[in-house]
Amino acid sequence: MRKFLVFLLAVVFALFVFGKEQVLHIYTALDENEWPIYVKAFEQATGIKVQVVRMSSGELLARIEAESKNPQASVWFGGPALDQIAAKKKGLLAPYKSEAVEKVPSAFKDPDGYWVGIYFGAIAFGSNQEQLKQLGVEPPTSWYDLLKPEFKGRISLAYPYTSGTAYTVLATLVAVMGEDKAFDYWKQLHKQIHHYNTSGSACVTQAGLGEITVGIAFAHDIITKGIAKGYPVILTFPKEPTGYEIGAMSMIKGAPEPDLAAKFIDWMLSAEAQSLMVQWNRIPINPEAKVAPGAVRMQDVNVIPMDFEYFGEQKDRLIERWKEEIEYGM
Amino acid sequence: MYWFKQIKRILNEPMLFSMIIFIWVLLILFVLYPITMVGLKSFQPKTGIYNFDVYKTLFSKKYFVTPIINTLKLGIVVASVSVLIGYLFAYSIAKVNIPMKGFFRTVATFPIISPPFVIALAAILLLGRNGVLTKGLFGGTPPFEIYGFWGLVIVETLAYFPTAFMTLEAILTSISSDLEEASLSLGSNKWRTFWRVTFPLSLPGVLSAWLLVFSQSMADFGNPLILGGRYHVLSVSAYLEITGSYRISYGSGLAILLLIPTLIAFFVQRYWLSKKSYVTVTGKPSVVRALEPKMYVKVIFTVVCLVFVTAIFLFYGTVLFGSFTKLWGVDHTLTLANYKFAFTYNWEFIKDTLILASIATPLCGILGIMIAYLVARKQFPGRRIMEAVSLLTFAVPGTVVGIGYLLAFNQKPLILTGTALIIILIFVFRELPVGVQNGVAALYQIDRSIEEASLDLGSSSNKTFWKVTLPLLMPAFFNALFTAFVRSMTAISAVIFVVSGKWNLITVRILGAVGNSDLAQAAALSYVLIGIVLVAMFLLRFLTINFSYQTKIRRAMS
């Protein structure tokens, strides 16, 4: 028995020593099946070991805020820039500049280097074609199409406070309609919604499975997780302009491994890494990178210019209003 | 004067004294302190300010009141339905001579050893808009909305009726058949005998089972997160408040509201109901003879059992089938890809979970046995309180524990967030009651005269413990180890607040996959987990058989 105890203590001790090895810790908002594409390639290219936790952007922001006295990860990888702007305002990020970051056009990065873009994405609708046929309706091509009685209880998206995708939807509506009108609209939409998810892209699979008929998400997620997987999903855009995101990454303030984080950010901006995004139908920021043939380009869709600084700053207030008036107000 | 004597007596036994202090330090630090932090935080809307604002908001805003009502409603319905089914099951097995008893009993315990949200996953696969049953039986429209109240009732009932069944089976087998036979020979019919004799005697068990299931349903996190839809319950609301909005005060307030009913249920069940037991002690060995009823009665009871067993098989079978499909709902070609994925991309999660649970389990078992030994064998002031505190985490919902650890160990002097230690500690202290309860029960069964004999023969009390008491405790110890291991492997509600990049858990990964609607992947990962639990179970059987005292004696004799 005592030998057993000694052995146990040795194991515990060994674990703590083992835990000290230099490893890069990343929090990512990218899909569980997407981040390994880049992270495995990075590990192979540099020999640096990486550990990743996946959370939705909102959860990620909350986590970094909770850990601000004792940061556990060095890089925030992926998810809309909006959330990273919100994090910058809260003083949770550290500025990072390098040669690779300099090359990124100024529209796609923070002027002070707090975040840098990786890809674009536009908000779109993913609809289950079989159910559309059953219901006898056309796929939605306007925000107001979603209010049709046929779609009642058949739409889903994520909570704007857990998911960067859904917050981008909220920001888009505010940008397109004006704030008060956007909230009036969402009150109507709320009655149509089957349920809210925590993760932004989950509604695509749900539409594919037929659990719901229409999901509201990013176009690349609808292509990759819906159409490319073989689900009977069709992609449409709202004809009033739709909104978009810049997917971004940033260094977390007090990062435990700043050198490795810098290496990762630089590598992620290289043409080599950016070309990997073909696999997820994303539009890379680096113009030298390859683009997937079916992917949606910014110029293909009617997009409204979005003031990310504003929406990043206003996030807490807008979310609060959303909860008060929409989620629980009705 | 009494206390003074007591304390003086303990000071004379430095070994005992230091052990008591050691255990109290651990219990205060890792059980009481985190829960207190949750309570404090709920009175602290902003740093440095203490008032009732949080609760005022919680009770005035509809969006907080609704989850409170929802949770209670769900708990009451699930507990009532589960107890009804559990009673039918237990009565059939304990009192009616139905066939295949062993089989029914084994199947009924499936849900206890499997990850808690597998049934919710199965419900989506079967009864979702695109579910197998929905398509096959109901022609494409689901019979009712499974995302919401009724879905949760079905799923939680299947998950928790085994608890009711086991509690009630123990009670029913302890009711001596003599009483029923007396009633029958005095001229009452079977129906009247049941209502006038058997049922009143089993009533404390019924209430006990009801409260247990009620607490489990209140504390459930995985199922409502997956299947709740727009039906919000407290555990999910607290989680969303904290991880989604970082409003820890509100999350803590919700957690406290969740804690109060479960604590009440726990204390009523443990300290009031347990004394109410009518179980008759006659001195004669109580004999349970199963009734040999009319054929049609037997058929009815068998059919009822069969229906539920079939439901369990259907649910678990669907998940098993789903784990081999290429793309659930669209392409049902069989493939091993999901398992390949589980063992390549998700190997880290499996490995971490195994390592953490394997470290936590023995620590938990040893600490549990230590406390059980002190509580059952030693006299010292605060003995009952120590027992109550060590059993407390049983009653505290995981959500509360998780928030408590997040609050308590994210600041100096004890920064533990992100370490393996914090997960291990949660495992150890959450499963501690298992070890304590098993240990206490076993110790009460071991006659003190055996230990006294050893002492009289000249062994020190230390040696007596290692050579006599401990070996006799081994079966209880291994049993506690197994339960602690299984519950750690499948835990989600507490640890979800403290997982980090360095240490990840497979249950969190499965929940992520379900949340992302990667149903086939989630199914495969669930079965990997179930596989590990089954291996552990056989290992335990092997250990208990080979290390138990009885076997050693038998070996020595032959």
- Region B479-497: mean pLDDT is 86
Residue type for position B2: Y
**Are B410 and A4 an interchain contact pair (Cβ–Cβ within 8 Å)?**
no
More confident residue, B137 or A23: A23
User: What's residue A329's pLDDT?
Assistant: 66
The mean per-residue pLDDT over the stretch B45-51 comes to 76
- CA nearest to A131, candidates A63, A24, A222, A212: A212
Mutation test of the interface with chain A: which of B243, B406, B511, B514, choosing the one with the most A Cβ atoms within 10 A?
B243
- Note whether A24 contacts B: Cβ–Cβ < 8 A: no
Locate B368 and state its tokens. 């549990």
Q: What proportion of chain B, given as a percentage, has pLDDT over 90?
A: 13
* Nearest CB partner across the interface for B420, out of A19, A31, A161: A19
d(CA B450, CA B255): 47
Residues facing A283 on adjacent strands? A120
Query: For A25-50, what is each residue's pLDDT tens digit?
Result: 999 988 888 899 999 999 999 989 99
Of A67, A159, A202, the CB nearest to B244: A159
Q: Which residue has the higher pLDDT, A123 or B184?
A: A123
Three-state SS for A15-60 is: HHHHCCCCCEEEEECCCCCCHHHHHHHHHHHHCCCEEEEECCHHHH
Q: Among B161-165, B253-257, B442-446, where is mean pLDDT lowest?
A: B442-446
* pLDDT tens profile A67-114: 888 888 999 999 888 889 889 988 899 999 888 888 888 878 888 899
Nearest chain A residue to B146 by CA distance is: A211
Give the pLDDT score at A294.
Answer: 66
Residue A42's alpha-carbon distances to A224, B260, B550, in angstroms, are: 22, 49, 57
Q: What is the DSSP string of B373-412?
A: HHHHH---TTHHHHHHHHHHHHHS-HHHHHHHHHHHTEET
Q: Which range among A182-191, A238-247, B41-50 shows the weakest confidence by mean pLDDT?
A: B41-50
Token pair 């306007």: residue: A142
Give the phi and the psi of residue A128 in degrees, each rounded to 5.
Answer: -80, 115
Helices (H), B109-148: 110-113, 118-127, 132-136
Element (H, E) at A105: none
| Touching B: A residues 256-295, CB under 8 Å | none
Confidence at residue B550, expressed as pLDDT on a 0 to 100 scale:
66
Query: What ipTM goes with this model?
Result: 0.70
The CA distance from B483 to B489, in Å, is: 10
Question: How much is the pLDDT for A267?
Answer: 93
pTM attached to this predicted model: 0.81
pLDDT, position B343: 84
What pLDDT score does B225 carry? 87
The answer to whether the CB of A119 falls within 8 A of the CB of A285 is yes
A164 or B213: which carries more pLDDT confidence?
B213
Residue-wise pLDDT tens digits, B415-443: 777 788 899 999 999 989 888 888 888 88
Secondary structure class of A68 (helix, strand, coil): coil
| Angstrom distances, CA of residue B4 to CA of A106, B7, B9, B381, B385 | 77, 5, 9, 10, 18
Calculate the average pLDDT of chain A.
Answer: 85
Instruction: Give tens-digit pLDDT for B285-335.
Output: 455 666 667 778 888 888 888 888 898 899 999 889 888 988 777 777 888
* B23 band by pLDDT with thresholds 50, 70 and 90: very high
**Contacts B140 to A, Cβ<8 Å:** 134
Identify the pLDDT of residue B281: 46
Mutant choice from B57, B125, B516, B519 vs A, greatest count of A C-beta within 10 A:
B516
| Nearest residue to B349 (alpha-carbon basis) of B115, B178, B146, B138 | B115
Which H/E stretch holds residue B530? helix B519-547
Backbone angles phi and psi of B27, in degrees to 5: -65, -40
As to burial, measured by CB atoms within 10 angstroms (0-12 exposed, 13-18 middle, 19+ buried), residue A113 is middle
Which positions in chain A touch B420 (Cβ < 8 Å)? 15-16, 19
User: Which of A31, A202, A211 lies closest to B130 in CB terms?
Assistant: A211
Residue B516 gets which letter from DSSP? Answer: T
Q: What's the average model confidence in pLDDT over B197-221?
A: 88
Please state the φ and ψ torsions of residue A119, each to the nearest 5 degrees: -155, 170
Cα separation, A35 vs A76, in Å, equals 12
Q: How far apart are CA B514 and CA B226, in angstroms?
A: 7
Q: Using 50, 70 and 90 to split pLDDT, how confident is the model at A297?
A: low
| Residue A4, pLDDT score | 59
Q: Which residues of A touch B418 (CB under 8 A)?
A: 67, 70, 72
Reported as a single tens digit per residue, the pLDDT across B110-126 is 888 788 788 888 888 88
In this prediction, residues A20-27 reach a mean pLDDT of: 80
Is residue A76 within 8 A of residue A27, CB to CB? The reply is: yes
- Whether B380 has a pLDDT exceeding 70, the answer reads yes
Averaged pLDDT, A199-221 = 89
- Are B399 and B238 spatial neighbours (Cβ–Cβ below 8 Å)? yes
Interface of A with B in 88-127 (CB under 8 A): none
* A212: pLDDT strictly greater than 50: yes
Helix (H) or strand (E) run with residue A314 in it: none
Give chain B's mean pLDDT.
Answer: 83
Using the predicted structure, report yes or no on whether residue A330 has a pLDDT greater than 60.
no
User: Is A162 touching B (CB cutoff 8 A)?
Assistant: yes
Give per-residue pLDDT as tens, B129-170: 777 787 777 776 777 778 889 999 999 999 888 889 988 888
Partners of residue A62 in chain B, C-beta under 8 Å = 242-246
Mean pLDDT within A247-255: 92
Element containing residue B145 per DSSP (H, E) = none
Amino acid at A32: E
Contact flag A8-B359 (C-beta cutoff 8 Å): yes
For residues B472 and B217, which has the higher predicted lDDT (pLDDT)? Answer: B217
Picking from B212, B232, B228, B225, the residue whose alpha carbon sits closest to that of residue B71 is: B232
Using a 10 angstrom Cβ sphere, with 0-12 exposed, 13-18 middle and 19 or more buried, the burial of residue B51 is exposed
Name the residue of chain B whose CA is nearest to A227's CA. B330
- Percentage of chain A lying above the pLDDT 70 cut: 91
What gap in Å lies between CA B173 and CA B175, rounded to an integer?
5
Q: What is the mean pLDDT of residues B65-81?
A: 92
d(CA A149, CA A191): 10
Instruction: Name the helix (H) or strand (E) containing B303.
Output: helix B295-323
